[in-house]
Structure 1
Amino acid sequence: MRLLAVFATLLAVAAASGRLMTMQEINERRLEAVKRWQTSGSQNVKSGGVQNITFTNPKASEFYVEGKSLPLVDFDVGPSWAGLLPISNSPNETRKLFFWFFPPGPQGSLDDLIFWTNGGPGCSSLAGLLQENGPFTWSWGQAKPTVNQHSWTNLSSVLWVEQPVGTGFSQGIPDAQNEDDIAAQVVGFMQQFLEVFSELKGKKLYLSGESYAGTYVPYIANYIYENPSRLDLSLQGIWISDPLISWYVVQQQIPTADFVKKHASLFSFNQTYMAHLDEMAATCNYTGYMDKYVTYPPKGLLPLPGDSTNFAQGCDIWTDIHNNALIINPSFNIYRIWDTYSLPWDVLGFLGTQSSIYYNLTDVKEAIHAPVDTEWIECTLTHVFPNEDSSSPPALTVLPSVIEKNQRTVIVHGLADFIITADGTRIAIQKSVRNGLQGFQTPIADDSFIVDGVGAYGSMHSERGLTYCEVALGGHMLPEFAPVASFQIMQYLMGFRDTP
């Protein structure tokens, strides 16, 4: 994104007075925008923190979580249900997934259900709940949890699931060989979930997730479409943010040198290293790839830079850049490159800055019915695919047909993400064929993503069932770094607004 647009996003222009708004005024306008939506046209409004919802199956009470007494949370987060459920109804089943379910807030829809999974593979969705889109948030650097004004529970019920087997509190021996196995296990779990919480049957379903969930979610959606009788929910669409949907060489290696040049002041490499980078990119056939092949419409098939789906020997340019960035700034953050100072304290320990991880506190485990003897790690050291994931990337397999079957599909990318870059996602989209055509046929307009009360906040494009959004300053965990933009895009996916 152009430097001018970055400053426009950071400061915003007050049209009435011609002066620059303060950050406090910008935040106030963001909140006002959300409040305006919450008070317009939303149905099923109830008093209190959440809508009234009752589950008649007595087993549901075993999972009930009292929102007034969550440890270290000094406010009522409302009722919720959490615990372990098996991935099948077999009496010998030992594989169980951990979930935490919240009903909608006062303005949320009772007709919809959002499913959220983090990526990894093997990263916990409870991190997404606590630091991204849940009803309370305890993000990096926060001394204590606070109410999340942009919780997705303000839209509908939300179900956070720790999957695959081996992730977080989930139990059992991982045995998934590919994404079809993962999809079958998730749908099996969802069957057991709906037997306990049967009042949710028939709801509209939205699958969502980030990072490696860019692979999980399309395969889960495809499995649901191919097995329509297995799940009593009506799949409407999917959200994948900063997603892995193609080969790593496509989304990490090809665009990385150009990414460094766009953000040269943040990387601060000297001329000698930049010359080395140019030479490396040229040798590996990365130079000029975006200009030559990522056109609108595409001029033909987009080739891989080497003779395989992996990078060639000596062409791991991403790792080379990362290692040298850490020499200059030991706190360099691959998830959001704007974080150039010491990494903040993290209650989940993901940044290595906290010894007492919240989900490892015994009273927290007891409160949410988690196994007390399980050590929770945000991203497991266990191989959730014992023999690696044998599935091909979804952009080349199931994603096109899923887009064709969905009501809406959203791919979102934060422009400050280095681990998977937005240009890599653009390449993946332009390589993919759906509805008889390859990629987007018309260009993505700069500064075309408009956030209510803020203004231009990136770029977006909709075409043939797919909406792609790029979010300025947003990092890899997009709902954490850009909560207002993420909330607005999710509104669009669910049909609560006509444009993102």
Structure 2
Amino acid sequence: MFYLSFYVLFVLTGSILAAPPKGGSDASKQYMVTNLPGLSEIDDGFKPLMYAGQLELFPENNTNYFFWKFIDASKNVNSTSYKRTTFWLNGGPGCSSMDGALLESGPFRIDQSQKVVMNNGSWHKASDVIYVDQPAGTGFSYTEQDKYVHELYDMAFYFIKFMEKYYEIYPEELDNEIYLAGESYAGQYIPYIADAILKRNANLQESQKAYNLKGLLIGNGWVSPNEQSLAYMPFFLNRGLIKKNNPMFMKLLGQQERCQRIVDKVDAHFNDKQVNPVEVDSSVCESILTNLLLATNDNQASREQQCINMYDYTLRDSYPSCGMNWPFELKYVKPFLNNDDNKHDLNLKKLKTWNECSGRVSRNFYASNSFPSVHLLPSLLEHVPIVLFNGENDIICNTEGVMSYISKLKWNGIKGFENTDAKADWLHDEKNVGYMLQERNLTFINIFNSSHMVPYDLPDVSRALIDIITGNFDEKKVNDKPTVVTYPLGVKRQGDVQHNDAEETPSKAPTSTSSTASSTTTDSIPKASSTTTPNDEPTSNKVTRLIQLAVVIIVIWGLYMLYASYRSRPASIIKKPAASGRKKNVQWADQLPEEGGQQEGFLAKTFGKLTGNSNGYARADTEDYVDDIELGENIGDSQLDDFIIASDDEGEDGRTASGNDDNRSKIKGGDAIV
């Protein structure tokens, strides 16, 4: 018996040492990323597990989506660590989510020597994060040239197909909580994808498994285009960016009035998505910003200081770029992603040229038969919490515009926030980083000292947004004011009893900012009951396994001593039965729980439900209601001739400004909602 026990323990020891880190099935190995310039210089405790590649969605039209996934390599599956997946999307439409991966919330930034360097505010320490280039033709994703996506409901259908293909490769992640995150025009993408997930979950086939959607995070989102466009003039006036004696001021007031009339016509049906709004031309509203930038152009300044940066009004840029040369590190990202060795390391099947934004995708994304996503928010808020976060320095999707459409929105039985003065301060790392309003599943957060791309400016603060939507925060009174407190990695929450159940459902809600206590709907961004964070985990699987090996050696030694004691016992000792039948079970840290099977395909009839008029938000009589958000429309001014023009060539970037007038074809716009 002793020898059998020794053999079992020997086999167990070998399996512990040989067990691979968490990362998925054999099919996933072809997508592993193990080499990038500078990766060897990254600290092993921070270095993520990575998977990347182009997944085929539809072989019939050669549609492939590129993804890049980051996982915390020190994550312990059976401890209190997270089991969540965040899908990140940038906007445009047609702008690559590699902006998010390499300029914002990902684990790396690119330095001037074309190497990856650490981003200490990476979201992968709080969630698995998957950056997806979509729609097809964006970034490293591709399709046949006549198969570009045109509508938001088509985009959502394609993304559901991507998720199915993804979970075929990573079925062990099907039980993970799912969060959708992104910024800018992703404010259109994310609600449509969330709506498609909920519809899919309601129409599952027998072999399918529901997607565990838990929340949405939308940063500086383009959600209600016309309403948000009306906020440009007040933004400029309130910050002294334009004076009333400006030569273009009366023209701008006239344009503002025309936009206001359009918005007034739509307001009658703002909360009734079953009724088609009056046909509108959103370019009337969107071009307000174009003319404001033109009116405030300073020809006397040096070239790099002539125009206000539309993504951060505290910065300047050349005209007519007005922010398109920003972020500054973008000039390092493009050559990094277009290096053929790096493309091979990222497992590309097709080594297409990477551009930050695609003018071709943008021009094809009409969205003329799609309601703006603002009309989906009320139904989504019945099921999942939504966090709208805004960098306060952004112009193009500014805080005033977001608060304006929220004030008109009716969700969970009440219109708007009941008391917009009841703000809670947000403290992170003992600093006041913003304020928030939260009622009935909707949270709005204004973040100080940040731009259109909050994670670019404040990486660690932005990572704490995951803590907020998952309830991993404390509530305190600071100077008699309600305050939400989050902490950097490595710092535990202070206010609650610690629990060890990783799967416990959080239930404690944060302080409501409502002015009344009689609302029939509970505020429901949950507060987690565990005080542990991903930082409390082992620093590496290697250390964990060494500890386990030590335990095994001690057990073997103990059994040997017991056996030796048994052989040398006095003959008069009588063997007695055990006092209890209980066994002490040891569960190894790297044992994976049994997972469900692979996902079946999403049926075509579900696609019909997404696109038919019966869904209440598809319409055929309105053009340009949700247009591709690009600067330069209806300008007609010779001063804008230098504005960015993206050609139909694959190598052209739809977001790069140029002063060259040669060989350019004028398209609608030039600035991208990234």
Please classify the TM superposition score into its range, dividing by the shorter chain length: 0.7 to 0.9
Q: 2:288 aligns with which of 317, 322, 330?
A: 317
Deviations 1:8-46 (A, max 9, x none): xxxxxxxxxxxxxxxxxxxxxxxxxxxxxxxxxxxxxxx
Q: 2:413 aligns with which of 414, 433, 436?
A: 436
Question: Is the CA contact 2:160–2:197 (under 8 Å) kept in the aligned structure 1?
Answer: yes
| Alignment match, 1:218 | 191
Cα separation, 2, equivalents of 1:361 and 1:126? 14
Cα separation, 1, equivalents of 2:83 and 2:374? 30
> SS where residue 154 of structure 2 aligns?
helix
Summarize the alignment of residues 297-446 of structure 1 with structure 2, pairs less than 5 Å apart.
309-310=280-281, 316-327=287-298, 329-330=305-306, 332-340=308-316, 346-349=328-331, 357-371=335-349, 373-383=351-361, 386=364, 388-389=366-367, 390-396=369-375, 398-406=376-384, 408-445=385-422
For the pair 1:116 / 2:88, whether they are aligned, the reply is yes
Letter in 1 for 2:467: Q
| Alignment match, 1:102 | 70
- After TM superposition, the score normalised by the length of structure 1 is 0.76
Cα separation, 2, equivalents of 1:145 and 1:188? 31
Letter in 1 for 2:170: F
Deviations 1:380-422 (A, max 9, x none): 12225626013111112x121111100x210011111111211
> SS where residue 380 of structure 2 aligns?
helix
Cα separation, 2, equivalents of 1:370 and 1:83? 5
Deviation at 1:233, TM superposition (A): 2.7
**Which stretch of structure 1 is more off in the superposition, 428-437 or 408-417?**
428-437
Cα separation, 2, equivalents of 1:118 and 1:488? 19
For the pair 1:194 / 2:182, whether they are aligned, the reply is no
Cα separation, 1, equivalents of 2:461 and 2:258? 32
For the pair 1:148 / 2:111, whether they are aligned, the reply is no
Deviation at 1:201, TM superposition (A): 1.2
Deviation at 1:224, TM superposition (A): 0.6
Q: 1:85 aligns with which of 24, 46, 55?
A: 55
Question: Is the CA contact 1:176–1:384 (under 8 Å) kept in the aligned structure 2?
Answer: no
> SS where residue 182 of structure 1 aligns?
helix
- After TM superposition, the score normalised by the length of structure 2 is 0.57
Letter in 2 for 1:320: N
**What is the aligned residue count?**
422
Cα separation, 2, equivalents of 1:356 and 1:238? 29
Cα separation, 2, equivalents of 1:356 and 1:313? 33
> SS where residue 99 of structure 1 aligns?
strand
Letter in 2 for 1:104: D
Deviations 1:224-260 (A, max 9, x none): 111113664300010001001112x2112x1112111
Deviation at 1:280, TM superposition (A): 3.2
For the pair 1:61 / 2:29, whether they are aligned, the reply is yes
For the pair 1:470 / 2:446, whether they are aligned, the reply is yes
Cα separation, 1, equivalents of 2:232 and 2:312? 14
Cα separation, 1, equivalents of 2:285 and 2:445? 33
Larger Rg: 2
Deviation at 1:142, TM superposition (A): 9.4
> SS where residue 170 of structure 1 aligns?
coil
Cα separation, 2, equivalents of 1:134 and 1:334? 24
Question: Is the CA contact 2:50–2:69 (under 8 Å) kept in the aligned structure 1?
Answer: yes
Cα separation, 2, equivalents of 1:487 and 1:314? 33
Deviations 1:46-66 (A, max 9, x none): xxxxx931323x221111100
Letter in 2 for 1:399: L
Question: Is the CA contact 2:252–2:291 (under 8 Å) kept in the aligned structure 1?
Answer: no
Q: Measured at CA, do residues 258 and 231 of structure 1 come closer, stay the same or move farther in structure 2, by a change above 3 Å?
A: farther
Deviations 1:303-357 (A, max 9, x none): xxx98643586994311111233335335321112223676784534xxxx6962
Q: Measured at CA, do residues 444 and 378 of structure 1 come closer, stay the same or move farther in structure 2, by a change above 3 Å?
A: farther
Letter in 1 for 2:378: P
Q: Measured at CA, do residues 245 and 311 of structure 1 come closer, stay the same or move farther in structure 2, by a change above 3 Å?
A: closer
Summarize the alignment of residues 110-189 of structure 1 with structure 2, pairs less than 5 Å apart.
110-138=82-110, 145-173=116-144, 174-189=147-162
| Alignment match, 2:647 | none
Question: Is the CA contact 1:194–1:200 (under 8 Å) kept in the aligned structure 2?
Answer: yes
Cα separation, 2, equivalents of 1:103 and 1:312? 41
Q: Measured at CA, do residues 453 and 83 of structure 1 come closer, stay the same or move farther in structure 2, by a change above 3 Å?
A: same
Question: Is the CA contact 1:166–1:384 (under 8 Å) kept in the aligned structure 2?
Answer: no
Deviation at 1:277, TM superposition (A): 2.7
Deviations 1:445-469 (A, max 9, x none): 46x3323234332321000100000
> SS where residue 316 of structure 2 aligns?
coil
Deviations 1:171-201 (A, max 9, x none): 2134323211111111111111111111111
Q: Measured at CA, do residues 74 and 372 of structure 1 come closer, stay the same or move farther in structure 2, by a change above 3 Å?
A: farther
Cα separation, 2, equivalents of 1:276 and 1:326? 11
Question: Is the CA contact 2:105–2:455 (under 8 Å) kept in the aligned structure 1?
Answer: yes
Cα separation, 1, equivalents of 2:468 and 2:334? 38
Question: Is the CA contact 2:433–2:447 (under 8 Å) kept in the aligned structure 1?
Answer: yes
Question: Is the CA contact 2:297–2:307 (under 8 Å) kept in the aligned structure 1?
Answer: yes
**Which stretch of structure 1 is more off in the superposition, 323-332 or 432-441?**
323-332
| Alignment match, 1:250 | 227
Cα separation, 1, equivalents of 2:464 and 2:285? 42
Letter in 2 for 1:319: T
Deviation at 1:443, TM superposition (A): 1.0
Cα separation, 2, equivalents of 1:54 and 1:313? 49
Letter in 2 for 1:129: A
> SS where residue 102 of structure 1 aligns?
strand
Q: Measured at CA, do residues 323 and 70 of structure 1 come closer, stay the same or move farther in structure 2, by a change above 3 Å?
A: same
Cα separation, 2, equivalents of 1:300 and 1:120? 27
For the pair 1:71 / 2:37, whether they are aligned, the reply is yes
Deviations 1:41-93 (A, max 9, x none): xxxxxxxxxx931323x221111100xx30244524332110011225xx535
Cα separation, 2, equivalents of 1:311 and 1:159? 32
Deviations 1:192-215 (A, max 9, x none): 111111111111100111001001
Question: Is the CA contact 1:105–1:153 (under 8 Å) kept in the aligned structure 2?
Answer: no
Q: Measured at CA, do residues 145 and 344 of structure 1 come closer, stay the same or move farther in structure 2, by a change above 3 Å?
A: farther
Q: CA RMSD in A?
A: 3.3
> SS where residue 397 of structure 2 aligns?
coil
Deviation at 1:98, TM superposition (A): 0.2
**Which stretch of structure 1 is more off in the superposition, 386-395 or 276-285?**
276-285
Q: Report percent identity of matched pairs.
A: 26
| Alignment match, 1:45 | none
Q: Measured at CA, do residues 92 and 467 of structure 1 come closer, stay the same or move farther in structure 2, by a change above 3 Å?
A: same
Deviation at 1:497, TM superposition (A): 2.4
> SS where residue 245 of structure 2 aligns?
helix
Q: 1:493 aligns with which of 469, 478, 488?
A: 469
Question: Is the CA contact 2:98–2:131 (under 8 Å) kept in the aligned structure 1?
Answer: yes
- Which blocks of at least 5 consecutive residues in structure 2 are unaligned? 1-19, 272-276, 300-304, 319-324, 475-483, 486-674
Deviation at 1:156, TM superposition (A): 1.7
> SS where residue 103 of structure 1 aligns?
strand
Q: Measured at CA, do residues 323 and 307 of structure 1 come closer, stay the same or move farther in structure 2, by a change above 3 Å?
A: farther
Question: Is the CA contact 2:24–2:172 (under 8 Å) kept in the aligned structure 1?
Answer: yes
> SS where residue 382 of structure 2 aligns?
helix
Question: Is the CA contact 2:84–2:178 (under 8 Å) kept in the aligned structure 1?
Answer: yes
> SS where residue 382 of structure 1 aligns?
helix
Cα separation, 1, equivalents of 2:285 and 2:60? 49
